[in-house]
Amino acid sequence: MAKGCTQCLRVVLIVINVLFLLIGLAILAGSLFLYFDTTMRNIKASTGLQIEMDIALFVAMAIGAITALAAGFGCCGAFHESTCLLGAFCTFVILVCIVEIGGGIFLYLKRTDPTVYSTINNSLKNGIRNKNETTLPEYIRFTQQWLRCCGANGTDDYSKDMAKAVCTAPDGEQFTEGCASKLYNFIEVNGLWALIVILGVAVIELLCMIFAVSLCCTVRREQDGYIGVTTD
């Protein structure tokens, strides 16, 4: 019975850690791609938020790398029933959970900060300043079509002809509301869901850590029992 529970814990840990390994590698690869992507460089330059975006990407790279490394330790530790590797896995999981929970709570509380709106507003204004219909950045076009908005604060940010050209939906609807307020409201409304997802991932990681500790204890008892039998 005990052996069956041990095998079950091993399989659960291996499967979950393979998924987290893939997620960690995806986060790391996506962050690296965005950091070196030419379009993202243009966005950072046009919005004036290069330092802030670089820091966010570096943090994402670190989380992805640590998650992948922790998952690797978890997979190998569970497969080989190595208490050393499982202990390293638990240590990394604690670090990742601290960063995720702390960062999630910080971003959730920060979402209503007035500086968030001013940052969004300024970045949008910088993106459309001195631009014409052909030179308007792609991310501005995407934001306007996605949120069905126009400019930073409305159609007055453009000339009449340009507003009609870049602030019109494929179905012919003319957008009039500014993107700054719409984007800010989107962040404020969906901040709770983002926090729930982050906390959900952290709970799954903590459950994996509990499974790993349980497996460690089981392996240690089996090793102690084997040593006791050998000694006798």
pLDDT tens per residue across span 14-68:
888 898 899 989 999 999 998 888 877 777 776 666 777 888 888 889 888 988 9
User: What pLDDT digit, counting tens, does each position of 128-181 carry?
Assistant: 887 888 888 888 888 899 999 999 999 898 988 898 889 998 888 899 999 999
Instruction: Tell me what pLDDT residue 150 has.
Output: 93
Give the end-to-end CA distance of the chain in Å, rounded to a whole number: 24
Distant-in-sequence contacts of 202-205, Cβ < 8 A, 24+ apart = 202/97, 202/100, 202/101, 202/104, 204/16, 205/20, 205/93, 205/96, 205/97, 205/100
Domain hosting residue 186, numbered range:
2-228
> Helix or strand or coil: residue 174?
strand
Quote the tokens at residue 142.
């995407």
Please tell me what DSSP assigns to residue 157: G
Alpha helices (H) along the chain = 2-36, 38-47, 50-80, 83-110, 114-128, 138-147, 160-166, 179-231
Instruction: Tell me what pLDDT residue 99 has.
Output: 85
Q: Taking Cα atoms as reference points, which of 101, 78, 102 lies closest to residue 89? A: 78
Q: How many domains does the chain fold into?
A: 1
Quote the tokens at residue 218.
């089981």
CA distance 47 to 11: 47
User: What pLDDT digit, counting tens, does each position of 178-195 carry?
Assistant: 999 998 888 888 888 888
User: What pLDDT digit, counting tens, does each position of 84-118 carry?
Assistant: 888 888 888 888 888 888 888 888 888 777 788 88
Quote the tokens at residue 9.
């814990």
